[in-house]
Every structure is written in C-alpha cells, then in structure tokens.
Amino acid sequence: MNEIQNVYEKLENIVGTKYVSDSEPVCYSYSMNCDYTLQGIPDIVVKPKTPEEISEILKVANEYNTKIIPRGNGADLTGGAKPIGDGGIVLDVTMMNKILDIDEKNRIVTVEVGISWSELCEQLSRIGVGYYTGSTGPASGFSATIGGGLSNNTVGGGGAAMYGAVTEQCVGLEVVLPTGEIMYTGAKANSFRDKPFTRFGLGADYTGIFLGDVGLHGIKTKASLNIYHLPEYAGYATYQIKKTKEKIPAERAAEVMTKWQHQRLALHDFFYYSPARVSGLTSRGIAKGLVNAKVRGGTLFYTAVGDTQQQLDHDIERIEKIAEEAEFIKLGETVEEGNIGKWFYEEDGRWQWSNDSWMGGNLFGMGGCVKSPTYQLPDYRRTYDEWVKRNFPKMMEMGGGGGADFVAFGVYPSYIDVAGGAAVISTIKERKAQIELWKDFLITQIKELGAVHYWMGEIIGRSLVDSGALSEEYYNFMITIKKALDPKGILSPGKFYLTDKY
Amino acid sequence: MVETKEQLKNLSKFEEAALACAQCGQCRVANWPSKGIFYSCPVYKVNRSFEPYNARGKNLIMKGLFWGHLQLSQDISDLIFQCTLCGLCEEICFNSQNENFNFTLHNIMDHVNTFEALRADLVEAGFPVESQVPMNKAMVELLNPYEQDNKAKLNWTKELDFKVKDANTEDAETLYFVGCTSALTPQIKRVAIATAKIFNKLGVDFSVFGEHEVCCGSVGMRTGDRKSFGEVAEQNAKLFKERGTKRIVTSCAGCYRTFKKDYGENLEGIEILHSVEFLNNLINEKGVELKNLDIKTTYHDPCHIGRHMGLYEEPRELLGKISNLTEMKTNRAGAMCCGAGGGVKKGFPELSMEMARGRVKEAGETGAEYLVSTCPFCWRNLSDAIEELNSNLKMVDLVELLLDALS
C-alpha cells in the first residue's frame, strides 16, 4: 500500500466513507477554481463536518507530509483554492454551513464558514427586523463562502462603500492551526466569555493573521461577523461622464469619488464604469438601460441608504451636488432610462454586475483586481492601454484579440477596488502562453502602479515575489510566521513560494 | 484505446456549450430571493457531496473529457447520472439561456442537453447505470419500462362507466396519450380515470391506444439509451401517422416534454398539449363553471412542464378557481425538483427519496392539505415521501380535483 492510500484510509476513518473520495473524476473536478487554466489535480478530496475532524485530518497530513488545500466554493480567479501542481488533499469546508448564533443584542452572527454569502444574507433578512452583513461578500457572493471571503479579504458584493471589505466586519474566528490545534481569536479567546464582540483586547490582532491569508496560516471553521439592519430607505442615480479636453473620464470620476469619500455621506456603493466597459455592455445588448439611454463615455452610479427619508434626502442632495458641480450628466430615474444604480441595488445586481467578466467559453480571463487609492484610477487606465498596445501581437498569435479593462468601486473608508484585468480570445492549447501573458500583466501592475492585489492566489502571490516587490525583511517575516505555524509546510504549500524557503 | 473525443459523438454536438462554463459555482448553492431561487441544485441541497453532484463539477468533467485528461468510465457514469436533469442550474447560470441575468457574456450553455448527450456517450461506451438497463430493454420489448404486459394499459378503463374509443380502429379528434406510469401503476391510474371522466363530461371526442400505446421513450432519452429511445420514437411517429392523429393530449409531464421537444419534426403537424393546458383552454372557451372546493392546496411544478416547457400559469389558473392555493417557498422556475426524474428514482432510489422528502416538507410548511401536481411520476415520488414521513398532506393530481370541481 502506498502512502496516499494510507492517508485515504485514515481520512476515511475520520470522516466516514461518504465524505472522502479519491475517484479520478471527483478529484479532477477540484482541479480548478473560477480561473480557467490554472490546474492541479489533488489525490484526495475530503469534506469534514466539524473542526475536530479537520484537526484530525491536519494531523494525518503532518504525519504523512501530505499537502492540504482548504477550499470554500472555489470562486476566486487566481488559483487560491486548488493545489499548486498535482497531488495532495483538497479539504472542502462546505459541509460546514450552519448559522450557529444570531446575537441581536450585539448585532453579531456566528456561522460555520462553508455557508455562502447569499444564503447567509437571505436567512438574516428573515430574522427580526431584517439584517444583512453590510458588506455582502465578493461579487461571486451567490456561491462564495464566508470562509473564502475572509481568506481573500473580499469586496464587490455591495455595501463596500459604507462597510469596507468583509474582513472589517469580522470580530473573531475559530481556526484549526496547521498542526491541528483548535482555537478562538478575538474576545472569545477569553475562555470566560461566551459570545464574541470585538477582534481586539487580548493581545495583538491575531484574527488578522488569518484574514486575507489565502489559507496559509490555518483553516477557518467559524466566523463571527457584525450584522446591520437592512436599510429602510434607499436612493440611486447614474451619471454619464464624457471626456473633456483636459481630462479622461477616469480622472473626472476619481475626483468626484474622492470628494464623496472625504465627506460623511450615506453612500452604500458607488461604481465607475470605463467608456470601454460601457461600450462593451451596450454593444452586446447588456445593460439595456444604458443602451436605451444611448450612453457614451464612462458612467458613475451611486446607491445611498438612510434610516429616514429625511436623512436620505439630505445626503442625496450633497452627493448629487458634488456630481453636478463636476458637470456629470444625470441619467433618468428608472433602470430603463439607464439608472444602473437602481438595478444594482433593487434587482440584486450586486451579485451579478461582474458576471460577464468571468468569461467562460473561448475567453481566457487574467484576473488582476487591485485595491488602490482613489486618485490613482487614471494611472490604471493609461497603464492598461499601454500594456495592451505592447502585447496585442501576442494576443493575436494566440488566436484572437484581447484587452484590459476595469470597473472601479468605492471601499470604506477611502479607497477603491479596481476590479478587472485582461482577457484574450484563446483556447486550452495556448495555456502556457496565456499564463505567461497573465504574469506579465500582473508584474506590470505591481511594478508600474505599485499595485496591491485583491486576491493572493497562486499566480499573484508568486508574481509579487518574482517581481521583487516584497522587501527582504517583509518576506522573511512572512516565512517566519508561516514556519512557526506550519513547521512541515503542509498547508497551502507553494503560495508566495513560502514553504520552498524553509 | 479509442480516443475519448471520438467517443463523445453526442456531446460533440454541444462542444461549445459544454466548454463554456466559467466555473463560478452559482449552480451549487445560490440564493436569489427576488428571483424565487433558494438553492440552485436539488441534489447538492440534500447531499452536499462532491463537486460532480452539481452542474459545475459535471461541466469540469466534460472539459476534462474534451481536453483528453479524462476517459469515459463507470466512475464518471455514476456521477453524471446522479442528477434529475431538472434544469434549475440553468436558471442561475449567467452563461445559460434564462431571463434572470442582465449581465451576461453569452447564452450558449445548455446544461440539460449537454448532460443528456454525455449520458448517451457513456451508455454507448458501455457505462450505463446497471439498474436502468432492464427498464430501457422493457421499454422496447414490452412497450413500457415497468416490465409489465402492455395489455394492462387498458385496465384502468374498466373503472369507467362509459366506453372509450379505441385509437387503433376508431377516429377521434383527440388522442389521449395516457403514459406508462398512469396506465400501469395501480395507485396512479386515478390520474387516467379522472382525465377520461373530465373529457367525457366536457364532451371531448377522444380515444386511447390501450395495449398498443407505445412508451414515449422519455426514460430512454433521459438515461442515455438513445437507441431504445429512437426505436420507440419511430414506432410512435409511425403509429400517429397511420392513424391520422391531429392532436395529442397527455396527462404525463414526461410524455409531453418528450413529444414536444425530443421528437422534433417527427411529429410535425400534430398539436401536442398537456392535459392541464388543454383543459384550461377548454374551460375558458366554454365558460365552464367550476365549484370552489374550499380546500387549501399547494402546487408542485414538474420540471418537465415547468422549467423545460414554461407551463407555469395554466395549472395555477385552474387551481386558483377551485381551491385556496398557497405557493411553496420555491415555485415556478425556482421550484425544487421532486427527485424522481432523469432516471434517479430507478438508479439511485435513496437520493431520489431524500429530495422528495425535502419537497414534501416544503409543501407542509405552507399549511396546505393537498399537494397537487400534474405529473404522475412526481405524484409517485412525492406520495412515497408523504407516506414515509407520515405527513398529513394528501397527494393529488390536478385533474382529480378538477373532476370534483366539475361534479
């Protein structure tokens, strides 16, 4: 019997036959995330039901020196939840999907991390006066899990302009460390406290080392998040932004977005769509409202919320005054007249605005979402255009055209997420060249824009190292922490090359 | 070794659709209240098992087959067949053909058809689900998949107090295609009896083929046995042509979908209607008065007439007239499947029953007394779950209530 068979038998004893598989097609179906060509086929997939089972699984992985990759829905775009190279165990946490506690007094929900953002928000909406998580996960929140959202520090599912990234809402975790110990972080680390309410107070922010960690430091099993009343009142508007002699639309939008962020306004969301994006949407018949409104140039929409109509009206007046002073053209109030802000908020656009950019078919997406200071938005436009110009011949060699573009949206308190990347028309035969091109795009972002990426999956983590962006001291610090927590380097190995440096 | 791609004769016709998945996973667990979607895969909802138990996993396996990373196998077959082909995944897929999404890149995905095509390739490569093989064999040899003597298909007519025309020898305006489940399942023959009685009351000139009624072939089509499907489809098309059939009305959702969609141009010129559609039109045209039975009902949308064919409102219009209809949490395009379809009841009975239990519980939450459907196969599975759960719900087909409302 070889080692992996021994591992399989041990896992079977831990979780039961039904929840472990080494079937070839099952393992194959865990070899990719939402990214199209990064692929690594695990030997085993396991679906534990409790933190104790996860603890036992990690002990087996340590015993046999087998790599283990935690996974939620696998909805990230840069290889965050799949093996780097073949082999190892994918640990799928989606059996753990219960809401464990809703503390209405403190407005905190505690969940198992395998529940999706859409299911959590749906269930919260039916509790008491109706709640939600404020920032409602990534744009893939229909299916993305809470655990994945926290591991990737996600934004994009609506509410980010008011509540920030989802990690801002996290007040504590239950984590299984790579060596198998189960522990709480945040206030609940005080063993005399029954309910979590803050992340701080018992030393440093140890919750933080598991947030945005792409599964490097431990396996999250439970998370406690702030929740908020569903807003009573909401308002929206969408603006058209044309190019002027002096400024491109991205520059004009950035100025207004910055002003919005510098004032205390009840902005729930604001999104800037580039002219190319608007053109793409209208030419393909997407966003029919924009087509009807014959919009050219960029667009900017906002959604604002309030507890009273008076409060909302007051803030909307201030929000719109800033847009009017910038001479933005306001579109009509209805979705049909181009008000995609209304569509975004009322028709669940928050979880589908980016659907078309996830590709599929013969389009290969090169995810490169970044968090950026708002003022820097025009630089992204220029850099992307230059990169496409430089690489267009390569794209044509791969079988078609391509481009690079973004949507930018506000994140509390004062930055934006430049969501997008590049894409090329291609096929699986071009895999190697596609990945090289993708890496070139990422390194361009890192070097020319000082980009701080959203995801830290395989390709981005490695691009950060390869580009020389991480200082020696910082990188050594990362290695030291990783090695202290995961001495055998079994958990998510290969990301940032950390375990290669032991 | 035969190249895998050469074995994908059926799936190759859908290659573009099969490769179009962006792997976002919305087809697993999405909740979309404003579109009435609460979970997007009934199989995954009950077993939360591995990826191939939802559409994304199946799509990735199809990619693996096209890219030459995987070979057709029994392992793949066992996974691909654990799906009721209900089509709910299509409703939550932004790359598929639905009206829920505003931001779509393309609409080329076609889940049910691609999964059926892969099933056909698996069967042709020698990897069927063993328990489904005798069913398809009987469908061809005995003309029904229940492995019964087809003569029994006339038994239900003995309970009528009027004579039904024999479609083999007598002409009629409407052919009532009873379907194997109603004709041969003792508990469900009441669907056929009620339908015939309503036709009689409303003066519909109809006939039945009785022992010569050939299975529509739905089970063969869903379970990948296209050869068997082709044989019965040919027999039916020939029979209908020979008898000069102008209109087929069936009370079986599976037969309806199969005739209307899978037979394609073979039935060109023949009007095909589900009984609920036919009766709703007739009652409206004739201004027939219906008695309100003063009962509380809830309606289960069969996938074969709902998501696959778009018949959502006709049954509701009728039920609304004769009862107090309360909707389940999931209904119409977002309705949870009963768990019986796609060969799952035959191939994986416990999985099928788990889904049925879930649907019955959902129906129970409405406070209804009657769980109503328009598909004998849904009737059967939901009825089994009602019995197992010792639920107070009464399972009925819409025609049974309609008959009472006409009396």
Q: Which of B114, B86, B39, B165 minimizes the C-alpha distance to B378?
A: B86
Q: Which pLDDT score, from 0 to 100, does residue A245 have?
A: 96
Nearest to B23 among A32, A118, A351 (CB): A32
Q: Which of B4, B15, B31 is the mutation pick for testing A, counting most A CBs within 10 A?
A: B31
Q: Which of A15, A27, A29 is the mutation pick for testing B, counting most B CBs within 10 A?
A: A29
**A68 with A44: CB under 8 angstroms?**
no
Query: Average pLDDT in the A289-295 region?
Result: 80
What totals of helices (H) and strands (E) does chain B contain, helices first?
20, 11
- Token pair listed for B86: 């209900």
Phi, psi of A72 (to 5 degrees): -95, -105
Distance from CA of B69 to the nearest CA of A (A): 9
Percent of chain A with pLDDT over 90: 85
Query: Average pLDDT in the A176-201 region?
Result: 95
Indicate whether this complex's ipTM tops 0.90.
yes
Chain B residues with CB under 8 Å of A359 CB are 22, 105
Distance CA B90, CA B108 (A): 11
The overall average pLDDT reported for chain B is 96
Check whether domain A3-92 has CATH 3.90.1150.10, yes or no: no
pLDDT band at A9 (very low <50, low <70, confident <90, very high): very high
Distance from CA of B358 to the nearest CA of A (A): 17
Tens of pLDDT along B252-263?
999 999 999 999
Domains of chain B by start residue, with CATH? 4-127 (no CATH), 131-281 (3.40.50.1860), 288-406 (3.40.50.11810)
**Does the pLDDT of residue B1 top 70, yes or no?**
no
Distance CA B50, CA A24 (A): 12
Count chain A–chain B contacts defined by CB atoms under 8 A: 160
Q: Is A28 on the interface with B (CB under 8 A)?
A: yes
pLDDT band at A1 (very low <50, low <70, confident <90, very high): low
- Whether residues B75 and A47 touch (CB distance < 8 A) is answered with no
Please, is A90 exposed, middle or buried when counting C-beta atoms within 10 Å of its C-beta (0-12, 13-18, 19+)? buried
Alpha helices, H only, A412-499: 431-449, 458-466, 472-485
Query: Average pLDDT in the B383-406 region?
Result: 98
Q: Which of A355, A427, A430 is the mutation pick for testing B, counting most B CBs within 10 A?
A: A355
pLDDT band at B52 (very low <50, low <70, confident <90, very high): very high
Tens of pLDDT along B150-159?
999 999 999 9
- Whether residues A352 and B61 touch (CB distance < 8 A) is answered with no
Task: Please list, residue by residue across B350-364, b when 16 or more beta carbons sit within 10 angstroms of its beta carbon and e when fewer do.
Answer: ebbbbbbbbbbebbb
Tens of pLDDT along A414-446?
999 999 999 999 888 888 999 999 999 999 999
Distance from CA of B312 to the nearest CA of A (A): 22
Chain B residues with CB under 8 Å of A358 CB are 22, 24, 94, 105
Query: Average pLDDT in the B112-127 region?
Result: 98
Check whether domain A233-351 has CATH 3.30.70.3450, yes or no: yes
Percent of chain B with pLDDT over 70: 99
The overall average pLDDT reported for chain A is 94
Alpha helices, H only, B148-259: 180-184, 189-201, 218-222, 226-242, 253-257
Q: Is A80 on the interface with B (CB under 8 A)?
A: no
Distance from CA of A279 to the nearest CA of B (A): 13
Neighbours of B78 (CB within 10 A): 17
Q: Which pLDDT score, from 0 to 100, does residue B101 have?
A: 80
Q: Which of B125, B116, B306 minimizes the C-alpha distance to B217?
A: B116
Tens of pLDDT along A341-383?
999 999 878 888 888 888 777 788 999 999 999 999 999 999 9
Q: Which pLDDT score, from 0 to 100, does residue A301 have?
A: 97
**Does the pLDDT of residue B197 top 60, yes or no?**
yes
Distance CA A115, CA A120 (A): 7
The domain ranges of chain A are 3-92, 99-229, 233-351, 355-466, 472-501
Q: Please provide the DSSP assignment of B107-172 as one string.
A: --B-HHHHHHHHHHHHHHTT---GGGHHHHHHHHHTSSTT---GGGGGGGGGG-SSPPEETTTS--
Tens of pLDDT along A388-416?
999 999 999 998 888 999 999 999 999 99
The larger pLDDT score, comparing residue A42 to residue A348, is at: A42
- Chain centroid, CA A478 distance in Å: 21
Query: Average pLDDT in the A186-204 region?
Result: 94
Tens of pLDDT along B207-223?
999 999 999 999 999 99
**Does the pLDDT of residue B110 top 90, yes or no?**
yes
Considering only alpha carbons, which residue of chain B is nearest residue A31? B60
Q: Which pLDDT score, from 0 to 100, does residue A100 have?
A: 98
Chain A residues with CB under 8 Å of B16 CB are 361
Q: Which pLDDT score, from 0 to 100, does residue A36 have?
A: 72
pLDDT band at B102 (very low <50, low <70, confident <90, very high): confident
Partner B, chain A 265-324, Cβ-Cβ below 8 Å: 281, 284, 286-288
Tens of pLDDT along A452-480?
999 899 999 999 999 999 999 999 999 99
Distance CA A458, CA A77 (A): 10
CA–CA distance from A502 to each of A59, A422, A496, A498, B366 (Å)? 20, 34, 12, 7, 60
**Does the pLDDT of residue B100 top 90, yes or no?**
no
Distance from CA of A33 to the nearest CA of B (A): 7
**A25 with B73: CB under 8 angstroms?**
yes
**Does the pLDDT of residue B6 top 90, yes or no?**
no
Chain B residues with CB under 8 Å of A32 CB are 23, 60
CA–CA distance from A151 to each of A35, A207, A281, A390, A497 (Å)? 17, 11, 31, 34, 18
Domain topology for A355-466: GMP Synthetase; Chain A, domain 3 (3.30.300)
Q: Is A140 on the interface with B (CB under 8 A)?
A: yes
Chain B residues with CB under 8 Å of A111 CB are none
CATH architecture of the domain A99-229 equals 2-Layer Sandwich (3.30)
Nearest to A25 among B28, B67, B79 (CB): B79
Distance CA B84, CA B337 (A): 8
**Does the pLDDT of residue A214 top 90, yes or no?**
yes
The larger pLDDT score, comparing residue A160 to residue A1, is at: A160
Q: Which of A39, A143, A362 is the mutation pick for testing B, counting most B CBs within 10 A?
A: A143
